[in-house]
Amino acid sequence: MTGPAAVALPTVPPRTETNTTAVLLPAPSYPVEKTSLANGLRVVLAPDRTAPVVAVAVHYDVGFRSEPEGRTGFAHLFEHLMFQGSENVGKAEHAKYVQAAGGIFNGSTHPDHTDYYELLPSGGLERALFLEADRMRAPRITRENLDNQIAVVQEEIRVNVLNRPYGGFPWITLPPVAFDTFPNAHNGYGDFHELEAASLDDAEDFFDKYYAPGNAVLTVVGDFDVDTALGLVHRYFDDIPARPVPVRPSFAEPVRAEERRSVLTDPLAPRPALAVGYRVPDPLADLQTFLAYDVLTHVLSAGDASRLERRLVQKDRLVIGVSTYLGTFGDPFDQRDPLLLTLEARHPAESTPEAVLAAVDEELDRVVTDGLQPGELTRIQARIASGLLREADDALGRALALATFELHRGRPELINELPALVGAVTAESVQAAAAGLHAQGRAVLELRAGAAS
């Protein structure tokens, strides 16, 4: 980890399994070609003729963390607005055109980017490129559309957060405990009053600033000829005017030395829950160290043989279920620094948060002092590598991964390199990662069930 958020990772001598040489893991060799248009749009092409489908994705370098203070939820609101028609596509016609061709489509908002995508039979490539270019050029930003989508987002919040057990826990409720600055701590889903206050000027300014071609990556994966696809890209995207690209600010925060705690009550939750957030190294500046933390999350909670599953669920029966993961939505590679390693557990009322935390600390101490068990690291590395291969196996999953690697790192070819990098993680570096969690002040959020409050 670098900069003001640095945490010293202790050097710990291994006690059990040592792994100082890379484990050879199966790795893909997907062809990847890159180019850029005159307006700044980056283009990633990955042909694959094994199945007659094509995926098209457009990623914009704007997410929850980029939205202005006083406009919480605006990035997500704007994602909805981009489906309300464009210069040559009427309202609801985007969906009609994609589905009529036998395809699917969607979009999603993340802390550091917003994506839009289509998956179609290969004959639908031109249709998808036309649709994405048309809304990149001129989405229909009207007062009617804005008001309509504000209402839609508010209903989403009611359904997914306000009227659902554990709604927003912990992705909305843990960051304010772990972070101090607005970009990192605020509710990316949005505040009702701030959403209602959104103006047409806000929407137009947001589009002009963040939806410039130079702030986007277009990715095409699947059954296509590269020259033909590139010709279509030029036909539909070349005439979109270039605009200035915003300078992305640093969202870095110092890592705390002291623990911070908070409590919330969920009247709909059937049982209590606990979320713990730990800061991890910058995934862009120090990927290899970051990968050791990814391995650690699997050591702790991936499968019935994992440390916390055996200790907390099977042996002590302190919790009903436990998971650890990197990143807001559990994808370790779709987020920039700062991000959290999150531990989430739901537990019976008779189990106290203190007992759960004490058991977690003991298991982390065991990793630090005793190291990994024989075969444990190899098993975890194989599990992670197989997950990476599975996610990239279909055209859409590959398109989303390639686009994120290009947007955040400028290296879509990382999709082929990750399994080898995971294989290079050593037992010593996993021990150091566990020690690194102890060397900082964690964020602890206790959720009390309404029936027990």
Domain that holds residue 421: 256-452
Give 346's DSSP letter: E
pLDDT for 36-48, tens place per residue? 999 999 999 999 9
On whether both 306 and 205 belong to a single domain, the answer is no
Q: How many domains does the chain have?
A: 2
On whether both 229 and 261 belong to a single domain, the answer is no
8-12's contacts with Cβ under 8 Å and 24+ in sequence apart are 8/436, 8/439, 9/289, 9/432, 9/433, 9/435, 9/436, 9/439, 10/368, 10/432, 10/435, 10/436, 10/439, 11/428, 11/432, 12/368, 12/369, 12/428, 12/431, 12/432, 12/435
pLDDT for 365-399, tens place per residue? 999 999 999 999 999 999 999 999 999 999 999 99
Domain CATH for 79: 3.30.830.10
On whether both 384 and 260 belong to a single domain, the answer is yes
On whether both 232 and 298 belong to a single domain, the answer is no
On whether both 190 and 268 belong to a single domain, the answer is no
Domain boundary among 207, 237, 267: 237
Question: What residues contact residue 257 under an 8 Å CB cut-off, 6+ apart?
Answer: 440, 441
pLDDT for 123-143, tens place per residue? 999 999 999 999 999 999 999
pLDDT for 341-357, tens place per residue? 999 999 999 999 999 99
Amino acid at residue number 199? S
Output the pLDDT for position 19.
54
Domain boundary among 186, 208, 237: 237
* CB atoms closer than 10 angstroms to residue 90: 11
On whether both 203 and 290 belong to a single domain, the answer is no
Q: Does residue 14 sit within a domain?
A: no
On whether both 224 and 266 belong to a single domain, the answer is no
On whether both 411 and 307 belong to a single domain, the answer is yes
Is residue 75's pLDDT more than 70?
yes
On whether both 87 and 140 belong to a single domain, the answer is yes
On whether both 37 and 159 belong to a single domain, the answer is yes
| Rounded distance between C-alpha atoms, residue 217 and residue 402, angstroms | 10
Q: Give the residue, 25 or 79, on which the prediction is more confident.
A: 79
Q: Do the Cβ atoms of 121 and 102 come closer than 8 Å?
A: yes
